[in-house]
Structure 1
């Protein structure tokens, strides 16, 4: 039985294999950067936090309160789920705004924002959020219009909010 001496090519292979093993071990032990969704995940995992309240109104019940299409505008419902409904407002095939109604029983902070507002639309508390959103609080329901095109102004959002059947929505028992 002969012992083979570690020749130069075998020595290199062994060294490369050892370095790769060390590199994999070190990189595997490093802490990973948190995902951009990590905070939301932590918040949703807290005891008592519910994504959608059990008593939230079905989104399909909101559809009849949305503004009717016409005058060259098209309304295309894009999402409907428990506690929420959304439609795109289009004209000439271009998306101008998003119209939505959501049940704030799942997000009480959304309703709380309206407590100190002095603005009103059709008698209901209203507020502008940033440069692209305007909302109205109707009981436990938040009605919002979000500009999707720069040509759709705050005045346009307020006009479309007033076209919702806010009185009818205020009578909805969810």
Structure 2
């Protein structure tokens, strides 16, 4: 009986020591831990340049509510502002203005407009995919409309791009 109790005590002690040793051991850092540490220490990982235009200053240049359409601002941050265009409570398009010079890590964001033959309101424009049209104002600001509904066509996007205060954006 004493041998039996001694075995139980020794087994309990061994399990306790094992748990203590494994709980206090430090795991080797993974590649994800190292990447997280590096990215949080970098100051250059910013997505927007310090001199980018504040998004709130773009709001006054968006077209207002017109003929059954409602404009609802959805996002504004440094270098960018966005609004949804609704008709009958349904999202039909997304309108946005972005400061292309405020974008870090992109060689020349306005390069896509350089060889454009399309002009809207006197500014170079491009069609991006099937659902987006953008134009470049003052070699700096991209004004873009993306359709969210099949009823909002390319000609609708071009007409709404002309409704932005493009001359005002150019003076920023």
TM over 0.5: yes
| 2: CA distance, partners of 1:45 / 1:129 | 32
- TM-score scaled by length of structure 1: 0.71
**Counterpart residue number, 2:57:** 61
Deviation at 1:45, TM superposition (A): 8.3
Aligned residue number for residue 114 of structure 1: 113
Offset, 1:75:
0.3
What is the alpha-carbon distance in structure 2 between the residues aligned to residue 62 and residue 114 of structure 1?
A: 21
TM-score normalised by the chain length of structure 2: 0.72
**After superposition, what is the alpha-carbon deviation per residue over 1:14-60, rounded to whole angstroms, capped at 9, x for unaligned?**
xxxxxxxxxxxxxxxxx99xxxxxxxx8xx987xx641111111111
Structure 1 runs (4+) greater than 4 angstroms displaced:
none
* Count of residue pairs the alignment pairs up: 162
Q: Is the 8 A contact 1:50 1:106 kept in 2?
A: no
**Aligned counterpart, 1:147:** 147
Counterparts of 1:148 and 1:141 in 2: how far apart (Å)? 22
Q: Give the structure 1 partner of residue 70 of structure 2.
A: 74
For residues 77-130 of structure 1, give each alpha carbon's deviation from its aligned partner in whole angstroms, at most 9, with x where no partner exists. Answer: 000111010000001000000000000012353311101111000100001000
- Look up the match of 1:91: 87
Alignment of 1:152-167 (within 5 A): 152-167=152-167
Cα separation, 1, equivalents of 2:117 and 2:51: 29
Structure 1 unaligned spans of 5+: 4-30, 33-40
Per the TM alignment, residue 68 of structure 1 is displaced from its structure 2 partner at its CA by 1.3
Q: Paired residue for 2:135? A: 136
Distance 2:162 2:71 in 1: 16
RMSD (Å) for aligned C-alpha atoms: 3.6
